[in-house]
Each structure stands twice: as C-alpha cells, then as structure tokens.
C-alpha cells in the first residue's frame, strides 16, 4: 500500500476585527482564506477572526462578526490581515495596536486592505515606510500621518514585510498576491478561478483607468485583440512596436490608448505576462530553464533570471524548488504555451 506524503501544516491567517471594520473587506479575506478548496488542489488555510475579546464586532448594515480567537493568537499567525474602515479615522483599540507592533517585531507579515492602512499608521508601523490606500484617501492619510511615505498611485505595495492596498478590488489583488507569494501562482489561480476574478494584476498598476467613451470602447476592442494575440505569441520576441503594428496604430498612440484602457504600460503588461507564464511552467513542468525562458519569451535564461530577481526577489530555480507540483502536467509540444492553461484560464479581456 502506498504511503501518502504528509500534508503541510495549514497556513495560519488572522483577520483582525474591531468595531468600524468594513464588511466588504471581511468578506474578501474570508473568501480567499476561509473557503476550503483543497479538493481543487488549493492549500489548506486556518483563518481565525481575532479580536480583543469574544464580544461580537458590529459592522455596517446590521452585520456582526463573531471572533473565535483573542489577540494572543496573533503570536501563532503566519499572516495578519487588517480590513479597511467605514470611517477611516476610527481609532483602533490600544490592545490591537500593541499586538500589531509586537507581531511586526516578531517578523510576522502584516497586510492592510484599503483604509486598514490608517490602523497600521496609528500603530506607528508606517512611519518612514511606503504605503498606499484608496486614491480618494491619500490626502487624508498624508494629513493625519505625515511621517508615512504615501505612494500616490499603485494597487498594493510592500515595505519591511508590511503590505498595504488601495480600495475595494485592489484588496482582492493583494490577497491573491499574498497567496501567490506563499504558495505559488497555481494556488492563486485556483482561488481566482473560484472567485471568477483575474489572478494576476501587479501592484504597480494604476488604481483606476479613464472612463470609457464610445471611441474608447472601440479602442478597447482592438486592444483586447492585441492582448489575445500577445498571449498566443509570448514565445516570440514581441516588442511594443510589434503590438502597435498589429493594432494598426503608431507606437506612441498605441501606448497611450493601452495605458488608458488597462492602467499599465504595454511593456510592463508584456513583462508581467512573461513572468506569469514562466511561473506556471516552473510549477507544472520539468522543462529545462532555457526552454522555459524561450517559451515565456525571455530569450535566454539569464534574462529570465534577471527579471525574476527584480520582480519576485527570487530565482527561477528557487521558485521551482518552492512551488513545483509533484506530478507535472506535460507541456504542449508546440513552440508556444497554451494561453488558457498557462495563464490560469484568465482572459486578456478581463485583465
């Protein structure tokens, strides 16, 4: 009888609760880490609702969150997530602020969604550090916490193991990124598919894009076709000029319309797709590094390694060692990776 390999311990995640937290952010955290998807290959999580005591925490709309652990459980957490606030100047309880300071001193990863950055700022944990919040709250954060280096435009950022995210959908992006960072791109894609959301938006993408007009809608259709074309030809040495020519635009006009439609530049988007493709191939196949670099469009293993170091702070070999799936799915024999399987099933239009 075959002996099953022991399962890794569940990743312990703490949702910090106190009066004034946003129900939406609580739902996002619960959906990402509180839903059992192990039957679909997702990691096992142990999500706990942590508060000062066991008293139900009121939220807007007549809702209440029932804590199942007190603040002492934070010493066991691998990740601590702070929801945003309905009133962004809501003072957090002193025991919560003290517990967050102790957790950071221990090296525990902290993450705040939207206005949760104000809670971290109250604790003094963002002093001298880079942070982001919803674009409409940036001036408020700067005014009340002038020692915070507020980044004007990003989806999420990290500084000294403290993550902050912009509003609403960016909180989902950060949560999926934290899953990807701890468990690999395949795990994040599995959860994203279940949530019917895009599995990969980088933190450096703009918070919002221009409102579409009838002309912009036509441009968006063209650009969606360009992105689809790019995903199917990532193994080729595509350039922004190539994509502009496919769209029938000048490179300058193409770059302007692309950024307005997606919130990121064509070059950054193309690099993001190459990295995501390489991640999937490293996880799912045992292809040699030069072949992965070729299929992802990096051209050489050296170039791929440089981009992994600058964007993921790791090497392709270290990434494979951490996240490779024991029974890999055979790669296609064609020169190009299949866009649906390699990108986690996400549509270029959805991006």
37 with 191: CB under 8 angstroms? yes
Provide the pLDDT confidence category of residue 220 given band limits of 50, 70 and 90.
low
- What CA–CA distance (Å, rounded) separates 20 from 262? 33
Is the model's pLDDT at 217 over the cut of 60? no
Is the model's pLDDT at 185 over the cut of 90? no
Tell which wins on pLDDT, 198 or 335.
198
Q: Identify the H or E element spanning 79.
A: strand 79-82
Percent of the chain with pLDDT over 70: 83
Mean pLDDT of 238-261: 88
- What CA–CA distance (Å, rounded) separates 96 from 265? 40
Query: Hey, is 77 helix, strand or coil?
Result: coil
- What CA–CA distance (Å, rounded) separates 41 from 191? 10
Q: How many CB atoms lie within 10 A of CB 4?
A: 6
Is the model's pLDDT at 2 over the cut of 70? no
- What CA–CA distance (Å, rounded) separates 347 from 231? 10
Mean pLDDT of 143-148: 96
| Residue 16: strand pairing partners | 50
- What CA–CA distance (Å, rounded) separates 33 from 312? 22
Is the model's pLDDT at 6 over the cut of 70? no
- Cβ-in-10-Å burial (0-12, 13-18, 19+) of 194 comes to middle
- What CA–CA distance (Å, rounded) separates 309 from 221? 34
Helix spans in 152-288 (H): 169-183, 185-195, 214-232, 240-247, 251-262, 266-284
Model pLDDT for residues 38-48, shown as the tens digit of each residue: 998 889 999 99
What is the structure's pLDDT at 198? 60
Tell which wins on pLDDT, 206 or 152.
152
* Cα distances (Å, whole numbers) of residue 334 to 230, 235, 295, 330: 16, 10, 10, 12
Average pLDDT over the chain, rounded to an integer: 84
* Cα distances (Å, whole numbers) of residue 88 to 18, 122, 158, 289: 13, 11, 21, 47
Buried b / exposed e along 41-79 (16+ C-beta atoms within 10 A): ebbebebbbbbbeeeebebeeeeebebebebebbeebeb
- Angle 291-181-86 from CA coordinates, rounded to 5°: 145
């Amino acid at each position: 009888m075959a002996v099953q390999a022991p399962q890794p311990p569940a990743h312990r995640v703490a949702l910090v609760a106190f009066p004034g937290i946003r129900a939406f952010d609580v739902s996002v955290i619960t959906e990402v880490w509180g839903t059992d998807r192990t039957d679909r290959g997702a990691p096992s999580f142990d999500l706990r609702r942590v508060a000062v005591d066991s008293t139900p925490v009121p939220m807007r709309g007549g809702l209440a969150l029932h804590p199942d652990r007190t603040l002492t459980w934070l010493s066991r957490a691998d990740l601590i997530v702070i929801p945003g606030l309905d009133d962004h100047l809501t003072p957090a309880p002193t025991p919560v602020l003290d517990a967050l300071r102790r957790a950071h001193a221990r090296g525990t990863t902290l993450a705040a969604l939207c206005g949760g950055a104000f809670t971290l700022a109250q604790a003094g944990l963002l002093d001298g550090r880079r942070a982001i919040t919803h674009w409409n709250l940036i001036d408020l954060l700067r005014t009340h916490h002038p020692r915070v280096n507020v980044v004007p435009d990003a989806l999420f950022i990290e500084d000294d193991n403290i993550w902050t995210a912009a509003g609403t959908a960016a909180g989902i992006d950060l949560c999926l990124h934290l899953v990807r960072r701890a468990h690999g791109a395949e795990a994040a894609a599995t959860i994203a598919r279940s949530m019917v959301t895009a599995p990969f938006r980088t933190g450096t993408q703009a918070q919002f894009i221009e409102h579409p007009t009838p002309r912009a809608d036509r441009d968006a259709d063209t650009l969606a076709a360009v992105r689809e074309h790019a995903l199917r030809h990532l193994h080729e040495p595509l350039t922004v000029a190539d994509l502009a020519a496919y769209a029938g635009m000048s490179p300058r006009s193409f770059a302007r319309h692309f950024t307005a439609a997606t919130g990121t530049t064509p070059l950054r988007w193309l690099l993001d797709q190459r990295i995501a493709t390489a991640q999937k191939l490293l996880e799912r196949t045992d292809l040699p590094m030069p072949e992965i670099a070729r299929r992802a469009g990096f051209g050489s293993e050296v170039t791929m390694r440089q981009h992994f170091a600058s964007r993921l702070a790791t090497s392709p070999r270290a990434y494979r060692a951490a996240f490779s799936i024991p029974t890999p799915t055979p790669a296609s024999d064609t020169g190009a990776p299949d866009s649906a399987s390699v990108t986690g099933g996400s549509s270029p239009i959805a991006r």
